[in-house]
Amino acid sequence: MSNMRVVFIGDIMGSAGRDALQTHITPVFQTLKPDVLIVNGENAAHGIGITPRIAEDIFKLGADVITLGNHAFDKRDIIPYMGDEPRIVRPANYPAGTAGHGLYVHTLKDGRKIAVINIMGRLFMDALDDPFATMDALLQNLPTKCVFVDVHAEATSEKQCMAAYVDGRVSAVVGTHTHVPTSDARILAGGTAYMTDAGMTGDYDSIIGMKRDAPLENFTKKVRTLKMEPAEGPGTLSGVVIDIDDATGKATAIEPLRLGPHLKETVLSDIAKKMM
Interface with Fe ion (CB under 5 A): 11, 42-43, 69-70, 177
Q: Closer CB to Fe ion, residue 152 or residue 250?
A: 152
Q: How far is the CB of 78 from Fe ion (least distance, A)?
A: 15
Alpha-carbon distance of 163 to 150, in angstroms, equals 10
Find out whether 81 and 55 touch, Cβ atoms under 8 Å.
yes
DSSP helix/strand/coil, 7: strand
Distance of closest approach, residue 104 Cβ to Fe ion, in angstroms: 19
Q: Which is nearer to Fe ion, 76 or 109 (CB)?
A: 76
- Give the contacts of 149 (CB within 8 A, at least 6 positions apart): 117, 118, 119, 135, 162, 166, 170, 172, 173, 174
Q: Interior CA angle at 43 toward 9 and 89, to 5°?
A: 65
In the complex, the smallest distance separating the C-beta of residue 207 from Fe ion, rounded to whole angstroms, is: 13
Q: How far apart are CA 37 and CA 5, in angstroms?
A: 9
Least distance to Fe ion from the beta carbon of 141, Å? Answer: 29
How big is the chain by its Cα radius of gyration, in Å? Answer: 17
* Options 24, 71, 106, 177, the catalytic residue: 71
Give least dist CB 11 to Fe ion, A: 4
DSSP H or E run through 119:
strand 113-120
By C-beta, is 11 or 255 nearer to Fe ion? 11
CA–CA gap between residue 198 and residue 209 (Å, rounded): 14
The amino acid sitting at 31 is T
Q: Which is nearer to Fe ion, 90 or 250 (CB)?
A: 90
Cβ-based nearer residue to Fe ion, 90 or 177: 177
Active-site residue 71, yes or no?
yes
Q: Which residues are catalytic?
A: 71
